[in-house]
Amino acid sequence: MEPDARQRLAALNAAFYAQFGPAYAQKRGRLQPGVARLLRRVRPDARVLDAGCGHGMVLRALAARGFRGLYVGLEASPTLLALARQAAPPGPRAHWVQADLLAPRWPRVAAGPFDVLLLFAVLHHLPGREARRAALTRLRARAAPQAWLAVSVWHFWRSARLRARVQPWARAGLSPRQLEPGDFLLDWRHGGQGLRYVHLYTPAELQADLDAAGWRVRELFLSDGEGGKLGLYAVAAPV
The residue extents of the domains of the chain are 3-238
Q: What is the pLDDT of residues 39-54, one digit of tens each?
A: 999 999 999 999 999 9
Element (H, E) at 228: none
| Residues β-bridged to residue 184 | 198
Q: What is the mean pLDDT of residues 173-185?
A: 95
pLDDT tens figures, 79-122: 999 999 999 998 889 999 999 999 988 888 777 899 999 999 99
Share of the chain above pLDDT 90, in %: 84
**How far apart are the C-alpha atoms of 61 and 33, rounded to whole Å?**
12
Looking at residues 153-179, what average pLDDT do you find? 94
Q: SS3 for 143?
A: strand
Peptide bond into 113 cis (omega under 30): yes
Q: How far apart are the first and last CA of the chain?
A: 28
Burial of 180 (0-12, 13-18, 19+ CB in 10 A): middle
Closest by CA to 137, choosing from 203, 236, 64, 233, is 236
Better-predicted residue by pLDDT, 21 or 149? 149
pLDDT for residue 138 is more than 80: yes
Instruction: Give the pLDDT of residue 112.
Output: 81
pTM (2 d.p.): 0.94
Fold of 3-238: Rossmann fold (3.40.50)
